[in-house]
């Protein structure tokens, strides 16, 4: 069991101050971070251009009128804003001497993402990119097994991710979100990098429905320096599409497969499921798992408190942006891009 680095239940005589966390941006993903902060007994603060009061009311956080005011009140900043504002907020938080958790992608531009990594180094603070899929137990188990030789030498890896286009206008604007590749598929690009190492070449193709531009798919093919091949397939489906993720990891001595749609732990029949909603197509239903978002938050906080290092570090976030950006360049040019 992971122990809290800032336990609220230690000996009364030495009750430490709770970790003070500043959540910047109070949209959808910030809600997914709340159970982790609650588990740590964190004192929550928030700042957002919109919705801060509602978030504060729902979470018990203290809302601040400016970013500066929030930065002055906290130990750690959790950046949950739309992607384009990540760099500015991360730099401000680092400059204020705060450690930072930043939602993926760190930035849309790889040079900017690398600069954030260096900025954190210069500031002597820690920057965690929230690549939450590394904390999904299925992927964590697969990674551990691969590292222990379960498939021998990895050879061909496939990852699929299916959901609905997030119900917020900025996601649909490729200039703001980086589109399906930078927003959704970066998760699986990060998995491919985690499991098979750096990439030599990237080829990507995207198809957007002419009759409904919110429906789109992309294929990203990675040729790793190790020779491993990875295929990432993303899909933002029509309204009503259930969130689904799969992987198929083949090596010269074994094969590992997972499909969230075939995960038979709990099955409601169609009659029962008509009265039971689970998942929204935007974020996966994690109700049957150790909450990966909470596991992520707790692992970051533990690492900051001097515990075991987290399984993802700033440079991983920058690398995922670099490869995703190369995929976007491939989409634009129709060429295979050397990394």
Partner 1 sequence: MLTARPTESVEGTTPAAPLKVALMSCAHTHAAAYASQLESRADVELVVADPDSYDDVRGVRMVRSYADAWDAWPEGPDAIVVTSANAHHKDLVLEAARRGAHVLCEKPLATTVPDAEAMVAACHEAGVVLMTAFPVHFSPAVEALRDAVAEGALGEVIGLTGTNNGKLPTARDWFTDVELAGGGAMVDHTVHLAEILDSVVGPPATVHATTNRILHADRAGKGAETGGLVTLTYDSGLVATIDCSWSLPDDAPTWGGLRLQALGTGGQLQIDAFAQHVGGPGRWLPYGSDLDALLLDAFLGAVRQGRAVDPTGEVGLRTVRVVAAAQESVRTGQPVALAED
SS3 of the chain: helix, strand, coil, percent, to 5: 40, 25, 35
Q: ∠ CA 147-312-71 to the nearest 5 degrees?
A: 170
Is 150 one of the binding residues for partner 1 (CB under 8 A)?
A: no
Task: Output the DSSP codes for 178-194.
Answer: -HHIIIIIHHHHHHHHH
Closest C-alpha to 339, from 219, 233, 197: 197
Q: Degrees (nearest 5) of the Cα angle 308, 313, 319?
A: 155
State the nearest-atom distance from the C-beta of 289 to partner 1, in Å.
23
Contact between 227 and partner 1 per CB under 8 A: yes
Q: How far apart are CA 263 and CA 129, in angstroms?
A: 28
- Residues sharing a CB contact under 8 Å with residue 37, sequence separation 6 or more, in sequence order: 21, 23, 44, 78, 297
Q: Which of 122, 144, 225, 335 binds partner 1 (CB under 8 A)?
A: 335
Smallest gap from Cβ 166 to partner 1, in A, equals: 18
Residue 289: count other Cβ atoms within 10 Å of its Cβ: 16
Q: How far is the CB of 238 from partner 1 (least distance, A)?
A: 5
Task: Identify any residues that bridge with 131 across adjacent strands, giving them in sequence order.
Answer: none
# residues contacting partner 1 (CB under 8 A) = 43
Instruction: Name the residue nearer to partner 1 (CB basis): 179 or 251.
Output: 251
Q: Does 251 bind partner 1 (CB under 8 A)?
A: yes
Across the beta sheet with 99-103, the strand order is 62-63, 43-47, 20-24, 76-79, 99-103, 127-130
**Binding map of partner 1 across residues 173-202, x = CB under 8 A, - = no contact:** ----------------------------x-
Residue 144 found at the interface with partner 1 (CB under 8 A)? no
Site string for partner 1, 287-306 (x = CB under 8 A): --------------------
Residue 243 contacts residue 253 (beta carbons within 8 Å): no
Instruction: Report the length, in residues, of the chain.
Output: 339
Site string for partner 1, 82-121 (x = CB under 8 A): ----------------------------------------
Given candidates 38, 73, 150, 156, which one binds partner 1 under the rule CB under 8 A?
A: 156
Q: Which stretch binds partner 1 (CB under 8 A): 105-113, 158-166, 179-187, 311-319?
A: 158-166
Asked if 221 touches partner 1 (CB under 8 A), the answer is: yes
Contact between 250 and partner 1 per CB under 8 A: yes
**Closest distance of CB 179 from partner 1, Å:** 14
Query: What tokens were used for 310?
Result: 């987290």
Shortest spacing between CB 251 and partner 1, in angstroms:
7
Return the biggest CA–CA distance within the chain.
Answer: 66
Q: Report d(CA 44, CA 99) in Å as an integer.
A: 15
245 close to 260: Cβ distance less than 8 angstroms? yes
Q: How far is the CB of 330 from partner 1 (least distance, A)?
A: 9
Chain positions contacting partner 1, by CB under 8 A: 153-156, 158, 160, 162, 201, 203, 205-212, 215-219, 221, 223, 227-229, 231, 233, 235, 237-238, 241, 248, 250-255, 334-336
């Amino acid at each position: 069991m992971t122990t809290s680095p800032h336990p609220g239940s230690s000996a009364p005589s030495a009750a430490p101050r709770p970790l003070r966390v500043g959540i910047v941006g109070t949209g959808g993903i910030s809600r997914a971070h709340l159970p982790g902060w609650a588990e740590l007994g964190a004192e929550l603060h928030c700042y957002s251009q919109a919705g801060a009061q509602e978030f504060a009311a729902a979470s018990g956080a203290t809302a601040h009128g400016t970013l500066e005011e929030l930065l002055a009140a906290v130990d750690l900043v959790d950046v949950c804003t739309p992607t384009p504002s990540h760099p500015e907020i991360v730099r401000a938080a680092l400059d204020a001497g705060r450690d930072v958790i930043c939602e993926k992608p760190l930035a849309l531009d790889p040079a900017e993402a690398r600069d954030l990594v260096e900025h954190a180094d210069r500031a002597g603070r820690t920057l965690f990119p929230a690549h939450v899929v590394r904390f999904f137990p299925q992927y964590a188990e697969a990674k551990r097994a691969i590292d222990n030789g379960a498939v021998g030498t990895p050879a061909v890896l496939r990852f699929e991710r299916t959901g609905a286009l997030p119900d917020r206008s900025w996601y649909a604007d490729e200039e703001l979100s980086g589109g399906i590749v930078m927003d959704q598929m970066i998760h699986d690009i990060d998995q491919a990098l985690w499991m098979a190492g750096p990439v030599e070449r990237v080829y990507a193709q995207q198809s957007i429905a002419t009759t409904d531009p919110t429906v789109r798919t992309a294929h990203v093919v990675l040729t790793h320096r190790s020779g491993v091949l990875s295929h990432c397939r993303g899909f933002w489906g029509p309204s009503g599409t259930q969130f689904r993720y799969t992987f198929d990891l083949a090596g010269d001595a074994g094969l590992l497969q997972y499909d969230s749609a075939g995960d038979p732990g709990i099955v409601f029949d169609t009659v029962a499921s008509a009265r039971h909603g689970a998942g929204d197509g935007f974020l996966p239903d994690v109700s049957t798992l150790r909450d990966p978002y909470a596991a992520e938050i707790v692992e970051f906080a533990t690492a900051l408190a001097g515990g075991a290092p987290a399984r993802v570090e700033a440079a991983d976030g920058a690398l995922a942006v670099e490869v995703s950006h190369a995929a976007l360049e491939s989409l634009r040019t129709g060429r295979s891009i050397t990394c």
